[in-house]
Structure 1
Amino acid sequence: MKVVIAGGGTGGHLFPGLAIAEEFKKRDGDSEVIFVGTENGIEAKIIPREGYPIKFIRSEGIVGKSLFKMIKATAELVLSAIDSSRILKVLSPDIVIGVGGYSSGAIVLLAGLRSIPTMIHEQNSVPGLTNRILGKVVKRVCVTYYESVSSFPMGKTFLTGNPIRGKILKGEKEASYRLFSLLDDMFTVFIFGGSSGARSINRAMVDALNYLTDLRDKIQFLHQTGERDFEGIREAYRKAGAKGTVAPFIYQMAEAYAVADVVVSRAGATTLAEITALGKPAILVPYPYAAGRHQEFNALKLREMGAAFMIRDDEMRGENLAKNIRELYENEALRAEMQRSSQGLGRPDAGSKVVDIAMSLIKNGRRKT
């Protein structure tokens, strides 16, 4: 069985694809899973580390770009189609699955035109442009949130949840403390702003240290900053005398979650799928420019269910963040209640549901050939 998973650009698109690949390999060790993405996306770094082959196409996003870049990106659609056609011809896959991002568009569309079984997975409550277009032509659509069901044709749209990698659930706590050079008897706050960091979160966290000086010997931090802010944030922690580890990027997310008593993060769908599957209390800071404000809607849902605090990006200041961290540190009963609420929202079986649908498509495709 040969499976092509197309998409990426951000971890929010890529990591569900990896979870789907993992489920295919779990069911059939001889399955061949090939990823398709761009050389500039996060997939170029992550996929080789995960041990899967990846094919690159020339493609750029169009939404939100300057006129010149829009013209350039439109021209690259032709190149993307040429690259995608070549890949399909060489691989002859049993199914092509799009997981979002502009690099999924051409190859999923061309696969459908060649009568190769196709499906997409939409992570967000507000679907992106690529998936809205592909939803009209693919055989099946899997969605994370009920709110996005109405954006796709009835009859072929399924509510599955957002697939998470199995290893996310298997971080070994004691080994993880050693991995990140953390103390195993301290309250740990894990801060990250997505694969490339979030400047507003980084700055607010540094400022928050000024309001947490009395807890300096009781709280430690694991902070993924992104490459851009790494040196400055690391130096700020050093000057504040705060305990913990600062890194530009953390590949070992399972281990990072394992040591976390509280998570401070953006509210992307994949991050929330991981947090809720693990039941981690969270302080969510929605990315304000997400399409259709979907991160804000995601965060509001968790807040309403008692699973998280939420701070809007324009209100993200050190004093506010420190107040939330202090409350979660001091109130163990609150953390336990948030954990129960979070786990109630989690869907750890989402990957299995997506692959069930994919396997059905593959079987139907084989019967017709």
Structure 2
Amino acid sequence: MKRTIVMTGGGSAGHVTVNLALIPHFSKDGWDIHYIGSYEGIERQLISRLDKVHYHAISTGKLRRYLDWNHLKDPFKVIKGCYQAYRLIRKIKPDVIFSKGGFVAVPVVVAGWLNKIPVIMHESDLTPGLANRISFPLAEKLCVTFPETVEQLASPKAVYVGAIVREEIMHGDREQGMRFSQMQRVKPIIMVMGGSLGASSINQAVRTHLHTLLQRYQIIHICGKGNLDPSHDAACYKQYEYVNEELADLLAITDIMISRAGSNSIFEFVSLHKPMLLIPLPKESSRGDQILNAESFAKAGYCEVLADNQLSGDLFVKTIDKLYDNRFTYIQEMKKYNADNNLNKLISIIKNHAKRK
């Protein structure tokens, strides 16, 4: 009998990339794959293009760390989402649910628990996010990226599997990357990523110091939806709102990274041996998980770190120069990291907890 998995997770690309790593393996093994996400989130953009995945949209709330009248509507959206997810799961009858987190995942986990479907969750950051903390009591297992997370949770449900890296990200084509970006191999290439939604402070810092940076580097700037600035167009400065299929090729030509500190992305950079300047989200606009991620990576010798409020002065350019000048030291440390078997561990856990029909 054909087996079925429901996957969920969204709100940012980081809540989708592990699912993207899993999907080819479950598809190859003949599983029927369904994905429950939001109506307009980035998960729909990333998953809907996949031929062998059935995408279902539900209503979802959102965690906001600021005052907003939409707070009043969110509980009703979550209740509606739980009802929609419950009906979907009753219809799909999956063997197992895999949740990557984000607030779209909460109704799906609740609906899975109500339908007595085993739920396996995944946490990328050192400390679990609010959605995963809410869902944790309803899950069979929470697979984590950092061993410290197992110690924090002190529960037999928490299992260390390590970082999950998409296989396709490891096979970029340098020639394709050069053609797509129209770069020339005359100067080192920096890639700037502020996450799937962009990062205004990083975008501003790069553009403020663009003239100085372009004297030494070429820059590929993934700046987020609606954040292109044609006034800064230059031959050695390429801007993109978001890059999907071409990302592996662009990473293949990249010498150093400037990035936020979302765990999924920065573990991929480690696996690719890309020295990083990490600029974690500040506590004012996050729960501080990226700060912990960045501290952990700095301690391991993989990166340099700047706080968001350190981007306005000369320190930004000086730190980039330091990172590039010492790039081989960072690369040697990153070569010690091995994530080869982590994905197989996660797949085994999911399959071992699937219901037997």
TM-score range, shorter chain: over 0.9
- Counterpart residue number, 2:352: 360
- Counterpart residue number, 2:242: 249
Q: Distance in 2 between matches of 1:22 and 1:93?
A: 18
1:236 pairs with 2:238 = no
* Equivalences for residues 189-204 of structure 1 within 5 A: 189-204=190-205
Q: Distance in 2 between matches of 1:259 and 1:150?
A: 38
Q: Distance in 2 between matches of 1:270 and 1:119?
A: 18
Q: What is the one-letter code of the residue matched to 2:14?
A: G
Gapped regions of structure 2 (runs ≥ 5): none
Q: What is the one-letter code of the residue matched to 1:55?
A: H
TM-score, structure 1 length as denominator?
A: 0.90
Q: What is the one-letter code of the residue matched to 2:221?
A: H
Is the contact between residue 225 and residue 241 of structure 2 (CA under 8 Å) also seen in structure 1? yes
Is the contact between residue 86 and residue 115 of structure 2 (CA under 8 Å) also seen in structure 1? no
* Equivalences for residues 165-180 of structure 1 within 5 A: 165-180=166-181
Does the C-alpha gap of structure 1 residues 62 and 19 become closer, same or farther in structure 2, counting only changes over 3 Å? same
Correspondent of 2:336 among 305, 319, 344: 344
TM-score, structure 2 length as denominator?
A: 0.93
Q: What is the one-letter code of the residue matched to 1:5?
A: M
Q: Distance in 1 between matches of 2:337 and 2:345?
A: 16
- Counterpart residue number, 2:9: 7
Q: Distance in 1 between matches of 2:34 and 2:293?
A: 30
* Equivalences for residues 1-369 of structure 1 within 5 A: 1-26=3-28, 28=29, 30-51=30-51, 52-64=53-65, 66=67, 68-152=69-153, 154-212=155-213, 214-215=215-216, 219-230=217-228, 232=229, 234-238=230-234, 243-251=236-244, 252-289=246-283, 291-317=286-312, 319-329=314-324, 331=325, 334-362=326-354, 365-366=355-356, 369=357
Aligned residues: 352
Is the contact between residue 109 and residue 138 of structure 2 (CA under 8 Å) also seen in structure 1? no
Is the contact between residue 277 and residue 323 of structure 2 (CA under 8 Å) also seen in structure 1? no
Partner-residue secondary structure (3-state), 2:156? coil
Partner-residue secondary structure (3-state), 2:36? strand
Cα offset, 1:346, TM superposition: 5.0
Q: Distance in 2 between matches of 1:54 and 1:63?
A: 26
Partner-residue secondary structure (3-state), 1:8? coil
Q: Distance in 1 between matches of 2:291 and 2:17?
A: 21
Partner-residue secondary structure (3-state), 2:243? coil
Cα offset, 1:324, TM superposition: 2.3
Q: Alignment RMSD, CA only?
A: 1.9
Q: Distance in 2 between matches of 1:291 and 1:324?
A: 24
Q: What is the one-letter code of the residue matched to 2:21?
A: A
Is the contact between residue 214 and residue 236 of structure 2 (CA under 8 Å) also seen in structure 1? no
Q: What is the one-letter code of the residue matched to 1:220?
A: Q
Identity of matched residues, %: 26
Gapped regions of structure 1 (runs ≥ 5): none
Partner-residue secondary structure (3-state), 1:344? coil
Is the contact between residue 128 and residue 291 of structure 1 (CA under 8 Å) also seen in structure 2? no
Q: Distance in 1 between matches of 2:5 and 2:279?
A: 35
